[in-house]
Amino acid sequence: MKRLRYLLIFLIVLPLLFGAGCLQGELPVADGQARETRHEAMRAILDNVTGTTQDSLDRLDGIASGAAIALQATGISGPEADSVLNGAVASHPAILTMITCDGNGTVLAAEPESAKDLIGQDLSGQDTVKRALFTREPLMSDLFFLAQGGTGISIAYPVHSSEGEFLGVVSMVFLPGELITPIVEDAVNGTPYSFQVIEVGALILYDPDPDEVGKETFNETLYAEFLEIARVARHSAANRSGYDTYSFYRTGFGKVVNKETFWSTAGLHGTEWRVMVIGEL
């Protein structure tokens, strides 16, 4: 009789267990489906932002290249050269300045008007100008701090005369925040995701928390108690695309939350940016 009673109890409880999802892992399956749906959404928005960022970098590169070609005919100083530089500066809102330097690194022309105090200065010790004069190849710099505040990046091109003589370089400084912010804000509008863009060396180019821009994730004291941050930075530096998880403050430095990120790569002339979409777990 006891066996019969136990059998009846089991038959009554069994449907309840199935209905509650306690057998066959129904809730984990549902959770897994939701996770995959979220990941698909994250990868889609990442592809959008990375592609648009690359298109914008290519556009800036085309402006710098076009200026170098135009300067072949005008030379790298004088009213016609100024006109070329002024037109380039006006062609994109992220461009801060355009200058030309001769083969010794002396500034010969600068636009806009606010940059003309650079004329006559020796910039041969500046990393971008120094490398451009040495390699005579196009390049994009790492992030650097501007004298007037904020951060910038430069794209430099060699300039040759129509006869092929090396005249110097043309250098464009642009503001990465002005380039990236509208792209990200348009993409994340109405979504729960955020973005960070970092250099391979882990210097932060863009973050929704402006105080983090320019910080270096390997050595910055802000991240010292979050060891996973350095691990993710190393992981992303070594791989052009990937996925990882970590914990950090919610945007705005609220409470600490668990996060996940997918990343991919945009860049120019061998300088790479890791574009990272971030979601809370």
Q: Is residue 10 part of a domain?
A: no
Q: Is the per-residue pLDDT at 184 higher than 80? A: yes
Comparison of pLDDT for 216 and 103, the residue scoring more: 103
Same domain, yes or no: 186 and 265: yes
Of the pLDDT bands very low, low, confident and very high (cuts 50, 70, 90), residue 82 is very high
| Counts for the chain of helices (H) and strands (E), in that order | 6, 11
Strand-pair partners of 103: none
| pTM of the predicted protein model | 0.84
Q: Is the per-residue pLDDT at 158 higher than 90? A: yes
Sequence-distant (≥ 6) Cβ neighbours of residue 257 within 8 angstroms = 247, 248, 249, 250, 280, 281
**Average pLDDT value for residue range 128-143:** 95
Q: Cα-flanking dihedrals φ and ψ of residue 251, to 5°? A: -50, 130
Which domain-ending residue is among 110, 145, 175? 175
Q: Is residue 276 part of a domain?
A: yes
d(CA 168, CA 230): 40
Judge whether 142 and 113 are in contact, CB under 8 Å: no
d(CA 184, CA 195): 7
Q: Is residue 23 part of a domain?
A: no
Which range among 4-18, 47-61, 139-153, 243-257 shows the weakest confidence by mean pLDDT? 4-18
Read off the pLDDT of residues 185-210 as tens digits, 9 standing for 90 and up: 999 999 999 999 999 976 899 998 88
Altogether, the residues listed in the chain come to a count of: 281
Which CATH number does the domain housing residue 118 bear?
A: 3.30.450.20
Q: What distances in angstroms separate CA 256 from CA 18, 238, 249, one per listed residue? A: 36, 26, 4
d(CA 188, CA 175): 21
pLDDT of 3 reads 42
Which domain-ending residue is among 175, 203, 220? 175
